[in-house]
C-alpha cells in the first residue's frame, strides 16, 4: 500500500494534466459562449462525481445499518466529505460560468437550486457526525444518510416544478453535444474520478489512524486512570 499510493498519485496527476490540456486546447470552441464554455469540463464532472460519492455513502450507510461494520461507517464518512468538496467545486464554478454567459451570478433555477439543497443536506449530515456523541455517531449518521438519499428524488421533483431557467442538459436529452466535446468531458470525468478515489483513500487512511489513536488513548486511560490523556 505504501508503494502503490504514490505511484497512483503520479499517474493520476499525469491523467489530470492530460485532461486539462484536452479541455483547454483540444476541445473545440463553443459557438455562442466562446472559451468560457470550457468551464463545463470541470463543472459537470464535479457534480457527477459528487453524486456518485453520495450514492456510495448511501450504500455504505445501509450496509452499516445491517451489518454494523466499522469500515462501512468510515466509507460513509469519507464519501460524504469528499462528495461535499466536489459539490462545492460545482457550486463555485457554476456562478463563475453563469456570470459572463447570462449576466447574473446566481439564479434559482432547477439545476443550481437542487445542487444547493443537496449540498445543504450533506453538510448537515457532516454537522451531525461532528456534534453527536461518539458512541452513537455511526448509527445516527447512517440513519440520516438513508433519509438524505430518499430526499434526493423529492428535491429534484419539487424544484423541477418550481422553476426552469437552466438550459437543456447537454448530456442525455435536450440539446445535442458535439462528440468531440463529449470525448473531452469523459476524459475529465475519468481523470477526476481517479483523483476522487485517491482523495477518499487518503481520507480513509487518516480516519483509520485517528480511530486507532483514539482507541489507544481510551485503552490507556482504562489501564491507568492516573495518566492524563
Partner 1 sequence: MSAPTGITRVTLLKDLRLEWRSKDAINSMLFFSLLVVVVFAFSFDPTAEESRQIAGGLVWVAFLFAAVVALNQTWAREIRNQVLDAYRVSPAPANSLFIAKVLGNFIFVSVLEALMTPLFIMFYRLRALGPAWQLALVAALGTWALVVNGTFFAAMSLRTRSREIMLPLLLFPFSSPALIAMVQATTAILNGEGAHFWIVLLATYDLVFTTVCLLLFETVLNAE
Partner 2 sequence: MIIANPYLFAAYAATWIIHIGYLTTIVRRYARLKREVEEMRKAGVRS
The residue with cell 489512524 is 209
Q: Which of 127, 178, 208, 210 binds partner 1 (CB under 8 A)?
A: 127
Neighbours of 74 (CB within 10 A): 21
- Where on the chain is the footprint of partner 2 (CB under 8 A)? 20, 24-25, 34-36, 38-39, 42-43, 46, 82, 85, 88-89, 92-93, 96-97, 99-100, 195, 199, 202-203, 205-206, 209-210, 212-213, 215-216, 219-220
Between CA 22 and CA 37 the distance in angstroms is 14
Nearest to 201 by CA among 79, 56, 62, 64: 79
Query: Looking at beta carbons only, is 117 or 177 nearer to partner 1?
Result: 117
Please give the angle made by the CA atoms of 154, 112 and 26, to the nearest 5 degrees. Answer: 125
C-alpha cell at 173: 436529452
100 interface partner picked from partner 2, partner 1, none, CB below 5 to 8 A per type: partner 2
Query: Looking at beta carbons only, is 25 or 131 nearer to partner 1?
Result: 131
Contact region for partner 1 (CB under 8 A) — 7-15, 141-149, 175-183, 194-202?
A: 141-149
DSSP state of 33: T
Give every CB contact of residue 85 below 8 A, 6+ residues apart in sequence: 199
**By CB under 8 A, residue 136 contacts partner 1:** yes
Between CA 20 and CA 90 the distance in angstroms is 17
C-alpha cell at 226: 492516573
Query: Looking at beta carbons only, is 80 or 196 nearer to partner 1?
Result: 80
Near partner 1 in 163-222, by CB under 8 A: none
19 interface partner picked from partner 1, partner 2, none, CB below 5 to 8 A per type: none
139 interface partner picked from partner 1, partner 2, none, CB below 5 to 8 A per type: partner 1
Between CA 100 and CA 109 the distance in angstroms is 17
Site residues (vs partner 1, CB under 8 A): 65, 117, 120-121, 123-124, 127-128, 131-133, 135-136, 139-140, 143-144, 146-148, 150-151, 154-155, 157-159, 161-162
Amino acid at each position: 500500500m505504501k508503494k502503490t499510493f504514490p505511484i497512483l498519485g503520479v499517474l493520476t496527476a499525469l491523467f489530470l494534466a492530460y485532461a486539462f490540456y484536452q479541455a483547454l486546447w483540444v476541445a473545440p470552441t463553443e459557438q455562442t459562449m466562446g472559451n468560457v464554455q470550457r468551464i463545463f469540463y470541470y463543472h459537470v464532472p464535479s457534480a457527477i462525481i459528487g453524486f456518485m460519492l453520495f450514492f456510495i455513502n448511501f450504500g455504505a450507510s445501509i450496509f452499516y445499518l445491517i451489518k454494523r461494520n466499522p469500515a462501512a461507517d468510515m466509507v460513509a464518512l469519507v464519501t460524504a466529505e469528499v462528495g461535499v468538496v466536489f459539490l462545492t467545486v460545482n457550486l463555485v464554478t457554476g456562478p463563475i460560468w453563469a456570470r459572463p454567459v447570462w449576466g447574473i451570478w446566481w439564479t434559482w433555477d432547477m439545476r443550481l437550486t437542487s445542487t444547493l439543497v443537496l449540498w445543504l443536506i450533506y453538510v448537515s449530515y457532516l454537522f451531525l457526525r461532528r456534534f453527536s456523541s461518539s458512541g452513537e455517531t455511526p448509527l445516527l449518521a447512517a440513519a440520516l444518510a438513508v433519509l438524505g438519499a430518499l430526499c434526493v428524488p423529492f428535491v429534484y421533483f419539487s424544484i423541477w416544478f418550481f422553476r426552469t431557467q437552466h438550459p437543456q442538459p447537454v448530456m442525455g436529452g435536450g440539446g445535442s453535444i458535439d462528440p468531440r466535446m463529449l470525448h473531452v468531458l469523459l476524459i475529465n470525468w475519468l481523470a477526476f474520478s481517479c483523483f476522487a478515489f485517491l482523495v477518499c483513500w487518503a481520507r480513509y487512511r487518516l480516519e483509520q489512524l485517528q480511530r486507532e489513536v483514539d482507541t489507544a488513548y481510551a485503552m490507556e486511560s482504562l489501564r491507568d486512570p492516573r495518566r492524563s490523556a
